[in-house]
Amino acid sequence: MSPRVRVLLFALAVLCLAPAFAHVALHLPRFGAHPLPYGDAINAAGTRERHVTNMVSAVNFDYRGFDTLGEEFMLLGAVTGTATLLRGTRGERKEVPQQVPGRPVRARSDAVVLVARLMGTTTVLFGVYVALHAMTTPGGGFQGGVIVSSGLLLVFLAEGYRGWRRAMRSEILDACEGSGATLYALCGFASMLAGLPFLQNILPLGKVKDLFAGGLMLVENAGVAFAVAGGFAVLFLEFLEETRVEADGDDEEEKEA
Amino acid sequence: MSVLIPLLFLLVAVTGTGVALSRVPRRQVMAMAANGMALALLFMALQAPDVAFAEIAVGTAALPLLFLVVLASVRADKAAKAEDGAAAGDPP
């Protein structure tokens, strides 16, 4: 398609869509206005009913806890699929792969190493903090888990691939991912064992503004934190491994074919 | 506050345009990370810190890394193919 035809097509599409777009844009609610009553209702009743001050966590883990279960297993499915595809011929190798032959190793500056070392540990700690304080302040298992895994990336920046790979055991990360998701599901079944609906809170709710308020939500939050931190770390590991290998398995297959 | 939010919207629009206009993949990844950062600031200003946390970690660290790794992998693959071609005497 030549650029001229493309521009013509674009102009045509704009002509067709502009009236509809203008109609919608002119009838949008005012900026910041939220006509739906759900958020206000949660804000009004959440602290009294669930003893937590972060309503996002209350919605995620209690009011709509079942949705989060779905998301948790979506993440598990995505990570499992990616790991299966990328590991493919490589398998679960234990030994640390060697440097790719022919690729120059650029020395990192001391400043990068120092900053990444300092920030890496601090970021992991901050992630744990965010995950722990899910019920009281903004953040939660997902956010904390992602922050922890990005802290692990800083460790990669500081230590280089070999050092990083030595610290990252893929079987531990796999276990984190799987057991986190399982823990979440088990919380639901625990409620059912107690004769209550799935994911109904069965633990004491605790005091408002206390770190350990929220009962079952705390366990679910821990499950999400482990699953997300482990899942993202598995993704990083598998992707980074792709740049490393000279793909012996692939080569053999090509020779056979 | 009334100045901050329009400014942040403008920042998001500018960085988003930057993503669309960069033609070199590696630069596009960096532009995308900048856009993620702008979005995170906007979420923060709109009082959605939960989303801002997730956006910072996923949009500016995890996603760009995965893209960079894919680009590096593609480049390594291309180099290996070119080497094989040269060794076999084929024109690449």
What tens digit of pLDDT does each residue of A174-215 get? 999 999 999 999 999 999 999 999 988 888 888 888 888 888
Taking CB atoms and an 8 Å cut-off, how many pairs form between chains A and B? 52
Q: Where are the alpha helices (DSSP H) in A88-140?
A: 110-132
How far away is chain B from the Cα of A77, in angstroms, using its nearest Cα? 18
Domain spans in chain A, listed from the N-terminal domain onward: 57-95+109-243
Contact yes or no for A242 and B73 at CB 8 A: yes
- Residue A196 tokens read as 């209550």
- Chain A positions touching B82 (Cβ under 8 A) are none
Nearest to A242 among B54, B69, B79 (CB): B69
Element (H, E) at A43: helix A38-50
To probe the interface with A, which of B5, B37, B73 has the most A CB atoms within 10 Å? B73
Q: Is the pLDDT of residue A242 over 70?
A: yes
A247 → chain B, closest CA residue: B77
- Chain B positions touching A149 (Cβ under 8 A) are 57, 62
Nearest to B69 among A130, A240, A246 (CB): A240
The ranges of chain B with pLDDT < 70 are 1, 87-92
Nearest to B76 among A146, A236, A243 (CB): A243
Contact yes or no for A236 and B76 at CB 8 A: no
The amino acid sitting at A77 is G
- Chain A positions touching B73 (Cβ under 8 A) are 242-243
Nearest to A239 by CA among B55, B30, B74: B74
pLDDT of residue A206: 86
Please tell me the pTM assigned to this model: 0.85
Average pLDDT over chain A, rounded to whole?
Answer: 87
Opening angle at CA A79, ends A77 and A84, nearest 5: 95
Each residue's pLDDT tens digit, A104-133: 777 788 999 999 999 999 999 999 999 999
Question: Which pLDDT band holds residue A14 (cuts at 50, 70, 90)?
Answer: very high
Q: Is the pLDDT of residue A102 over 70?
A: no
Question: Which pLDDT band holds residue A248 (cuts at 50, 70, 90)?
Answer: very low
Tokens 């190793």 label which residue? A105
Contact yes or no for A246 and B80 at CB 8 A: yes
* Rounded Cα distance, A55 and A40, in Å: 11
Contact yes or no for A232 and B62 at CB 8 A: yes
Contact yes or no for A103 and B76 at CB 8 A: yes
Contact yes or no for A103 and B66 at CB 8 A: no
Contact yes or no for A138 and B66 at CB 8 A: no
Lowest mean pLDDT among A6-15, A42-51, A74-83: A42-51
How far away is chain B from the Cα of A161, in angstroms, using its nearest Cα? 13
The DSSP secondary-structure symbol of A29 reads P
With beta carbons less than 8 A apart as the criterion, state whether A254 and A170 touch. no
Helices A110-132 and A141-167 cross at an angle (nearest 10°) of 140
Cα A97 to the chain's mean position, in Å? 27
Highest mean pLDDT: which range of A8-17, A88-97, B69-78:
A8-17
ipTM value of the model? Answer: 0.84
- Chain A positions touching B62 (Cβ under 8 A) are 146, 149-150, 153, 232, 235-236
Tokens 């929220």 label which residue? A214
Each residue's pLDDT tens digit, B21-43: 999 999 999 999 999 999 999 99
Nearest to B50 among A143, A232, A239 (CB): A143
Nearest to A139 among B50, B66, B80 (CB): B50
